[in-house]
Structure 1
Amino acid sequence: MHRAYLILSRVLYAFSSLVLTSISLALIAVAVVDVWEALRTGSSLKPSMLDGIGLVVVALAVFDVGKYLMEEEVLRNRELRSATEARETLTKFLVIIVIAVSLEALVFILGAANGGLRLLIYPSILLATAAAMVAALALYLRLSSSAERRLPRA
């Protein structure tokens, strides 16, 4: 029964990873088509390009999550057995999210630059959130690594 559950888990994680990868590719395709349409119709290219950058950033974040699922849950032949492995895995995952949030904030800043200073509050909040996430991750790494040193060696 345990073996069947492990196989089912791997199949579901692999399927989820492939779905996320497909969605990521579709987002990139939509970005390319939107920019192409702006070029073809002669409409303003800058908004389409900024929207395209935002879509590609989100697509890369979605792809990274799918890649993470495939690497950690499908291809690895073992579960997380130590606090160090859990810390490293969580760190990888959070770094993906922080990078995506930071890049999205930069795209919003570029878009808000033409819309007036009052629009800069939203990307500023997003950047502050990314900075808080980095600080929280640093605190977690500091606390978890010091706790690991106190654990008995196996």
Structure 2
Amino acid sequence: MIFDRITRTAFAVASGFLMLLAFGLITYAAYEVVRSLLVDGTNIATSLLEAVGYSVIAIAVFDVGKYLLEEEAIRAREMRQPAEARRSLTKFISTIAIAVFLEGLVAVFEAGKDQLPLMIYPTLLLLTGVALVIGLGIYQRLSAMVENETTDREQSKAPLRRRTREPKSA
């Protein structure tokens, strides 16, 4: 019982810290945009693209913190139903995939048309996002198949249980 409380507290503290870091990233992105507007000679387009990148990372970090808070600190239990675990993991991976795609898109714009060798990083990011989505699709398909098989087995055994439990009449 005490270990459970310590674990929940640790997850809550880590979650809060991640959320504060996400807020710090958003604040820094806003500061850099305002600073580039006020200082002559600063490229506003670069500042805006960097702000988008920081914001995307902040969203992903915040979502990780939210996930930890909801699933580990508040609920503090293992997911009993496969569908519940699948939904939770799908939501989490989807957020990460979106962050990867947005970061890849920002990196494409930062690399620009003139700096072709710099396109390797954004290309790898986009391919990573595609791999995440494909992996999520495979996971969804396989876990749904397992859920259906488990449900079918339970339903096929249910009538047998009822028959054995009913008292025999004379």
Root-mean-square deviation (Å) = 1.6
Deviation string 1:43-97 (CA, Å, 9 cap, x unpaired) is: 1111111111111110111001111111112222643112222222211211111
Deviation string 1:121-150 (CA, Å, 9 cap, x unpaired) is: 221121111011101110111011101112
Paired residue secondary structure (1:35) = helix
| Structure 1 partner of 2:10 | 12
| Structure 1 partner of 2:120 | 121
Paired residue secondary structure (1:144) = helix
| Structure 1 partner of 2:141 | 142
| Structure 1 partner of 2:31 | 33
Aligned AA (1:126): L
TM-score, with structure 2 as normaliser: 0.83
Paired residue secondary structure (1:81) = coil
Return the index of the structure with the highest Cα Rg: 2
* Distance in 2, Cα, partners of 1:48 & 1:115: 19
Runs of 5+ in structure 1 lacking a partner? Answer: none
Q: Is the 8 A contact 2:22 2:62 kept in 1?
A: yes
* Distance in 1, Cα, partners of 2:23 & 2:85: 29
* Distance in 2, Cα, partners of 1:17 & 1:110: 32
Runs of 4+ in 1 over 6 A off after TM superposition: none
Task: Number of aligned residue pairs: give it.
Answer: 152
Within 5 A, what are the aligned runs for 1:1-154? 3-42=1-40, 43-76=42-75, 78-151=77-150, 152-153=153-154
Aligned AA (1:11): T
Greater Cα offset, 109-118 or 128-137:
109-118
Greater Cα offset, 12-21 or 28-37:
28-37
Paired residue secondary structure (2:112) = helix
Cα 1:99–1:136 change in 2 (3 A) is same
Aligned AA (1:28): I
Displacement of 1:15 in angstroms is 0.4
Q: Is the 8 A contact 2:8 2:76 kept in 1?
A: no
Aligned AA (2:7): S
Greater Cα offset, 29-38 or 116-125:
116-125
**Percent of paired sites with the same residue:** 41
Runs of 5+ in structure 2 lacking a partner? Answer: 156-170
